[in-house]
Structure 1
Amino acid sequence: MRKSYYAAHVYMIVGVVSGLFYREFTKANDFTGDTQLALMHTHLLALGMLGFLIVLALDKQFQLSGTRLFTSFFWFYNAGIAVTVVMMGVHGCLTVLGDHVPEAVPLVAGLGHILLTVGLILLFVLLGKRLNESLAKPPTEEPEPARTSL
């Protein structure tokens, strides 16, 4: 569970810093158009911080961490976010600077999205297994509360 907490925390910091970078970089270059840099902030906060906070809550409920599927999910998902966001940064900086964006940039960003998708599929497979396990268990009977006499 700690890995999810630390990942969410790191994504929160990097997300806030990327928003600051976007504002200052575009201001320093007198840029007023649209750029991928504007989207990095929300991608890092939504996919990274909020995504891992949700995973943290699911892990608390369904004991997801400590399994091979969770480890695979964790690394595929993080790699997908990293590749996607780095390519957004490269694309955005080149746009602000007025340089040509090579065709490889969106292709590599697509690879990042594929890694994200693989990570999400692994998470849903793991969740499905845990849900099936919890449905297969017979319900435990709650002991009756002790009666107190007044």
Structure 2
Amino acid sequence: MILRLFRRILPFIWLAVILAGTWWMMSLNSSGGDWTETRATFPICGTRGAAGCVIDGDTIAIGKRKIRMSGYNAPELSGECKVESALALRARAELATWLSAAPFEMSGGDDPPYDQYGRELRSFKRIGANGKEEWLADHMIGKGLGRNDGFRDEWCK
């Protein structure tokens, strides 16, 4: 009797599990976690009185927190050549401009992932003037100031 009842309700249990799993997956965005809107100016680090600042072309500081932008790699300030160092200065300035231009959202909520250096890993986006999502990574790559993650191409070619 119990086995017959179990066989009758088993499809409904599976359906409930599938629906719950689908709902959970849809509630997450592609970068994982909640998005937090931020409205602030981000000068280059070293400016007194700033709550947040830009360290380099893909890293910012907010208080004692360091946040690494996901989706692209920027050239290094201490680059292997003058070309890379010059691009790194431009990338840092462009990041400061993008962050300060309008409100944006950061992924990760209250519990973001971290990289091997202890920096929070977050994606950044905003709604552009045209009403479409504008991703920071796409912006920096489009300007030639970033490359896709996973590519450690030389900037000095």
Q: TM-score, normalised by structure 1?
A: 0.29
Q: Which has the higher strand share?
A: 2
Q: Which has the higher helix share?
A: 1
| TM-score (structure 2 length as normaliser) | 0.28
